[in-house]
Amino acid sequence: MTPVVGAAALGVPETFNAAAHFVDRHIGEGRGAKVAIECGDERVTYRELVERVNRVGSALRRSLDVRREERIALLLLDGPAFFYSFFGAIKIGAVPIPLNTLWKPADYEYVLNDSRARVLVVSPELHPQIEKIPRDRLPLLEHVVVHVDELLGSGDAELEAAPTSRDEAAFWLYSSGSTGRPKGCVHLQHDMVICAELFAKGVIGMREDDRAFSVAKLFFAYGLGNAGYFPLAAGATSILWPDAPTPQNVYRVIERHRPTLVFSVPTSYGMLLAHGRPEGRDFDLSSIRLAVSAGEALPPALYERFKARFGVDILDGIGSTEALHMFISNRPDAIRPGSSGLIVRGYDARVLDDNGAAVPAGEIGNLWVAGDSMCACYWNQHEKTKATIEGGWLRTGDKYSQDADGYYWYAGRSDDMLKVGGLWVSPIEVENALVQHAAVQECGVVGREDRDTLMKPAAFVVLKAGIAGTPELASELQQFVRERLAEYKRPRWVEFLPELPKTATGKIQRFRLRELTRL
SS3 391: coil
Which is nearest to 87 in space by CA: 257, 238, 262? 238
SS3 20: helix
The answer as to whether 502 is a domain residue is yes
Domain boundary among 114, 141, 164: 164
Domain boundary among 139, 164, 189: 164
The answer as to whether 77 is a domain residue is yes
**Angle at which helices 247-257 and 266-273 cross, to 10°:** 90
The answer as to whether 11 is a domain residue is no
The answer as to whether 258 is a domain residue is no
Query: Are 294 and 322 within 8 A, CB to CB?
Result: no
* Total domains present in the chain: 2
- Strand runs labelled E in 271-426: 290-293, 314-319, 326-329, 342-343, 348-352, 365-370, 377-378, 389-390, 393-402, 408-413, 418-420, 423-425
Which is nearest to 111 in space by CA: 60, 173, 159, 28? 173
Query: Are 340 and 331 within 8 A, CB to CB?
Result: no
The length of the chain is 519
Q: What CATH number should be reported for the domain holding residue 437?
A: 3.30.300.30
Q: What CATH number should be reported for the domain holding residue 100?
A: 3.40.50.980
Check residue 5 and give left, alpha or beta (phi > 0: left; psi -120 to 50: alpha).
beta
The answer as to whether 405 is a domain residue is no
The answer as to whether 109 is a domain residue is yes
pLDDT tens sequence for the chain (519 residues): 678 999 999 999 999 999 999 999 999 999 999 999 999 999 999 999 999 999 999 999 999 999 999 999 999 999 999 999 999 999 999 999 999 999 999 999 999 999 999 999 999 999 999 999 999 999 999 999 999 999 999 999 999 999 999 999 999 999 865 445 889 999 999 999 999 999 999 999 999 999 999 999 999 999 999 999 999 999 999 999 999 999 999 999 999 999 999 999 988 898 899 888 777 789 999 999 999 999 888 888 889 999 999 999 999 999 999 999 999 999 999 999 999 999 999 999 999 999 999 999 999 899 999 999 999 999 999 999 999 999 999 999 998 999 999 999 998 777 777 888 888 788 888 988 998 999 998 899 999 999 888 999 999 999 998 999 999 999 999 999 999 999 999 999 999 999 989 765 566 888 899 999 887
The answer as to whether 159 is a domain residue is yes
**Angle at which helices 471-482 and 427-434 cross, to 10°:** 120
Q: What angle do CA 166, 171, 174 make, to 5 degrees?
A: 135
Query: Are 397 and 381 within 8 A, CB to CB?
Result: no
Domain boundary among 132, 164, 196: 164
The pTM score is 0.88
The answer as to whether 307 is a domain residue is no
Q: Which domain holds residue 493?
A: 426-517
